[in-house]
Amino acid sequence: MNLQKKVLRSQARYTTSLNRHSIIGSWRLLSCKHLRADGIVEYPFGLNPEGRLVYLRDGKMIVLITDPARHQFRSGQFFEATDHELANAARGCVAYSGQWKIRENEVVHDIGQSLFPNWKKKSLARVFRIDNMRLILTTAPSVIRGMEHTATLVWEKEV
């Protein structure tokens, strides 16, 4: 292996360990926006979404994002909710847990459980950067209802 490759690998290990340490902890969601390919910005969880993202040292993670405008159920008992109530509640919520790892400039979530069953045993990669006490995660473009979207989520470190 030539010297340049050794230096680059050494720098990558240092950057990864530095980023890994700085991402650990609990984060509160400040914003979530989807930028469509046509330039329109959508806010899938409203203008003031609620959420928490937790990265543990042992590699476990969990995230919950909700739209605060979701309607309450008619009953106080979860198991008495109607299919319509459950569908509307799920539409305004993302929740999953699993393992996390750093890969270059991405944090990768290896999902073990999810409200959306299609994500179970899948990996979701997010480009990340940390700016002061804020974690900015950006998804790769994906097609939603026939239109390409890129999501950006801004999280604030909880201390």
Please spell the DSSP secondary structure of 18-86, one letter per residue: HHHHHH-EEEEEEEEEEEETTS-EE-TT-SS-EEEEEE-TTSEEEEEEE-TTPPPPSSS-GGG--HHHH
State how far the Cα of 55 lies from the Cα of 99, in Å rounded to an integer.
9
C-alpha closest to that of 157 among 20, 27, 18? 27
Looking at per-residue pLDDT, the higher value among 71 and 7 belongs to 71
pLDDT digits (tens, 9 = 90+) for 5-47: 332 343 333 334 445 788 999 999 999 999 999 999 999 999 9
Contact 58, 23 (CB under 8 A): no
Residues 76-98 have a mean pLDDT of 96
> Does residue 4 carry a pLDDT above 90?
no
Residue 108: count of CB within 10 angstroms of its CB: 15
pTM: 0.85
CA distances (Å), origin 55, targets 10, 61, 77, 88 = 24, 5, 31, 28
Q: What percent of the chain shows pLDDT beyond 70?
A: 88
Domains in the chain (CATH in brackets) are: 3-157 (2.40.128.280)
Averaged pLDDT, 51-68: 98
